[in-house]
Chains A and B, each alone.
Chain A
């Protein structure tokens, strides 16, 4: 088992190198000179040349890549070309914002998706099942940015029940220890602020969770139906166990195995959905950061944000694989 984990982690190293390589060269293929973007069209040729030399853009590309990797391995992500700020500082602010939103969305999506799937399977062909599965089908087919706009219209614009943007009311003070505003406000003991943070989280989290909720509901239902037909479930019922025990202890435990692998695969969708959700809800997270940096040709920010997301993504998938191997003794580690 330990061997398996070590081998898998070693296997990630070439992938992450590949990602850094791809990001580095892909972003440099984008037409347009970042120095010109930075200095404006009317900058003199000498100024452009001088700044380009300062930033090291006059060196051959492969040397630039090596120096970028050298800096990266020392934990230096460089400075933003446009804002002149340290990328690490901005990252410390942006990353928790996205993780906070994605984590809540993941929890909500898994909780609701799996529950709906289980109940639908147990009460097959009931009204709940039919409504739930139609809902799931509509959910899979819906553009999430559109859902976000519909909810904003219904709950934020006209009725002002929920805030349409931001993480917390501007006038509220938060001592950012962790960057996760929910935790920070809890640590401060400021209940008013915590509630305000939750208030701001509801809409974006609800929207983002619809990325994983419908597929999870459908897959859980299919897996549960499969398991409920197995002999051991019939045995469990025959020996007189309560239906609740049969469903949860015998069926769900086995049905969840394939569901767990799906959750790992859906994470990429969540990160992609975060770009749209963050854009619409003016959420200061990684998605909008990367998106704006790509459009603005801010190389260091694109490299940092993509590398960080890819690293998280790869490691979460590894964690899912390991969890899967732990939960299912039949998996061989080769």
Chain B
């Protein structure tokens, strides 16, 4: 055991001393055990080997494909899709998920609702992630008064229960899918800002940042080329997990009647639509909920897998 550790230390030293071409040469000659891999290549390889991450990727891929293909394969206008003769029918061979209050096929609405949930999740997290990352980078790198002001504002936003803040923002801007995205983005910003700031604080003190300063690299370049890439992996993990959370919040707003408005096939709103009939036709409530759960589960599994794959401590 002690021998093998020493051996690996030596190879690591050799690796850092040797230039890239040297390493490639050694690899070709079979002296180095394996070709050096980049962080991302390494992460991707481990991601493929993890069962949970694979399940997550499959679920996420199905949802993404459904969202993209549904409007192409089956053009859908929710305004014209009602048939009161077959309202609130339980699942059958013809309508595998049953029909809703207006006789609309629930399976069809779930399929077409995928793009709504997915776009809220992805767009809201991307917006919050980008805005939070910028604030965190600025705050952490410059410190001082800038840091103070930004972080106090983040503290204030975090002092609100986020659901309440989201409701208030929707109340100010009006209901609808777009405003749901805005509300969820705003509410999510402080989390990313704090995360990125803490990453920057530790990276800022590294020698390579000092070295860049000494050779005269400008500050914005240092932030974008050196600080940002090194704090990227926790942001990616947190964002992937955040997609699930954003979809849940959007569904909750839809359920409360504040999200996408009828007749849009939004999953949360579909649950809300079924509540008055919970006793007689519970499938109207149960099925959209399962769709939400499956989607969120997919992104959470993917996030779990990414966290393990990108964690440098987990690497062999």
A30 touching B252, Cβ below 8 Å: no
Category for how many chain B residues contact A: 35 or more
Which residues in chain B, 18-49, are within 8 Å of chain A measured between CB atoms? none
- The answer for the CA separation of A29 and B300 in the assembled complex, in Å, is 36
Q: Which residues of A contact B309 (CB under 8 A)?
A: none
B163 touching A276, Cβ below 8 Å: yes
Taken residue by residue from 145 to 180, chain A's Cβ proximity to chain B (1 for < 8 Å, 0 otherwise) reads as 110011011000110000000000000000000000
Asked if A14 is an interface residue, CB under 8 A from chain B, the answer is yes
A153 touching B251, Cβ below 8 Å: no
- Interface core residue of A15, A26, A146 (most chain B CB under 10 Å): A146
B156 touching A275, Cβ below 8 Å: no
Asked if A295 is an interface residue, CB under 8 A from chain B, the answer is yes
- The answer for the CA separation of A310 and B156 in the assembled complex, in Å, is 9
- The answer for the CA separation of A275 and B256 in the assembled complex, in Å, is 10
- The answer for the CA separation of A150 and B288 in the assembled complex, in Å, is 12
Which residues in chain A, 281-334, are within 8 Å of chain B measured between CB atoms? 287, 290-291, 294-295, 302, 306, 309-310, 313-314
- The answer for the CA separation of A309 and B167 in the assembled complex, in Å, is 15
- Interface core residue of A157, A287, A291 (most chain B CB under 10 Å): A291
Q: A149-B278, A295-B171, A309-B164 are in contact. Are A15 and B152 (CB under 8 A)?
A: yes
Which residues in chain B, 157-180, are within 8 Å of chain A measured between CB atoms? 157-164, 167-169, 171-172, 174
Partner of A294, one of B168, B285, B289, B293: B168
Q: Which residues of A contact B192 (CB under 8 A)?
A: none
- The answer for the CA separation of A153 and B162 in the assembled complex, in Å, is 28
Nearest CB to that of A309 among chain B residues? Answer: B161
Partner of A314, one of B159, B168, B174, B255: B159
Q: Which residues of B contact A145 (CB under 8 A)?
A: 252, 255, 271
B167 touching A294, Cβ below 8 Å: yes
One of A37-45, A73-81, A107-115, A136-144 contacting the partner: A136-144
Partner of A142, one of B162, B167, B256, B293: B293
Asked if A233 is an interface residue, CB under 8 A from chain B, the answer is no
B167 touching A15, Cβ below 8 Å: no
Which residues in chain B, 121-176, are within 8 Å of chain A measured between CB atoms? 152-153, 155-164, 167-169, 171-172, 174
B278 touching A19, Cβ below 8 Å: no
B300 touching A306, Cβ below 8 Å: no
A153 touching B160, Cβ below 8 Å: no
One of A54-62, A86-94, A202-210, A266-274 contacting the partner: A266-274
B162 touching A268, Cβ below 8 Å: yes
A271 touching B153, Cβ below 8 Å: no
A153 touching B282, Cβ below 8 Å: yes
Partner of A275, one of B167, B172, B278: B167
Which residues in chain A, 86-144, are within 8 Å of chain B measured between CB atoms? 137-138, 140-143
B163 touching A149, Cβ below 8 Å: no
Q: Which residues of B contact A275 (CB under 8 A)?
A: 161, 163-164, 167
Asked if A18 is an interface residue, CB under 8 A from chain B, the answer is yes
Q: Which residues of A contact B282 (CB under 8 A)?
A: 153
Partner of B292, one of A146, A268, A273: A146
What is the minimal beta-carbon distance from B297 to any residue of chain A, in angstroms? 4
Asked if A64 is an interface residue, CB under 8 A from chain B, the answer is no
B278 touching A272, Cβ below 8 Å: no
Q: Which of A's residues lie within 8 Å of B, judged by CB?
A: 14-16, 18-19, 22, 26-27, 29-31, 137-138, 140-143, 145-146, 149-150, 152-153, 157-158, 268-269, 271-273, 275-276, 279, 287, 290-291, 294-295, 302, 306, 309-310, 313-314
Seed contacts A143-B251, A149-B285; 16 additional CB < 8 Å A-B pairs:
A15-B159, A16-B159, A18-B155, A141-B293, A141-B294, A142-B296, A143-B248, A146-B293, A153-B279, A153-B285, A272-B161, A275-B161, A291-B167, A310-B161, A313-B159, A313-B161
Q: Which of B's residues lie within 8 Å of A, judged by CB?
A: 152-153, 155-164, 167-169, 171-172, 174, 244, 248, 251-252, 255-256, 268, 271, 275, 278-279, 282, 285-286, 289, 292-294, 296-297, 300-301
A-B contact pairs, 11 of them (CB 8 A): A19-B160, A150-B286, A269-B162, A271-B164, A290-B164, A291-B167, A294-B167, A309-B160, A309-B161, A310-B161, A313-B159
